[in-house]
Amino acid sequence: MPNRLAHIAFLVPDYDEALAFFRAIGWDCREDTDMGGGKRWVRVAAPGAGTELLLACAADDRQVAAIGAQGGGRVWLFLETDDFDADHARVRAAGATFEEAPRDEPYGRVAVWSDPWGNRWDLIQRT
């Protein structure tokens, strides 16, 4: 049986706030199921993507402290695009902060950005 990475748990302070952000950057909500007790199973992904983010509302002080710090301060999420300019504008309009101007690297065009919770991402259009 082949393996595949299905979900990555993504800590957030609020399900609805996170869901609104990901929808604003053009992602799909693939599931939003009430699990009872204030918990939900919320899966989001870029259109056509196989791997999904599982939005996980922080449940205790340790998890709250890890919101935005899951990558230890490094870029740890890499969003590939076929239309850099359109996605750059969409991500910025959704409330993300670009840390730099787009730059060209041997592998493609890239810019580092932070989501509303401080997670660092690369937006990349491969050459």
Between CA 89 and CA 10 the distance in angstroms is: 23
Identify the structural domains of the chain with CATH numbers, from first to last.
Answer: 1-67 (3.10.180.10), 74-127 (3.10.180.10)
Q: Around Cβ 7, how many Cβ atoms within 10 Å? A: 14
Q: Summarize pLDDT for 79-118 with one digit per residue, the tens.
A: 999 999 999 999 999 999 999 999 999 999 999 999 999 9
Between CA 110 and CA 115 the distance in angstroms is: 16
Q: The pTM is what?
A: 0.94
Q: What is the pLDDT of residue 2?
A: 81
3-state helix, strand, coil in the chain (%, to 5): 20, 40, 40
Between CA 119 and CA 72 the distance in angstroms is: 9
Hey, what amino acid is at 51? T
* Two structure tokens written together for 13: 């302070």
Between CA 10 and CA 58 the distance in angstroms is: 9
Q: Summarize pLDDT for 13-46 with one digit per residue, the tens.
A: 999 999 999 999 999 999 999 999 999 999 999 9
Instruction: Write the CA distances from 122 to 14, 49, 108, integer angstroms.
Output: 23, 16, 11
DSSP lists the bridge partners of residue 98 as 113
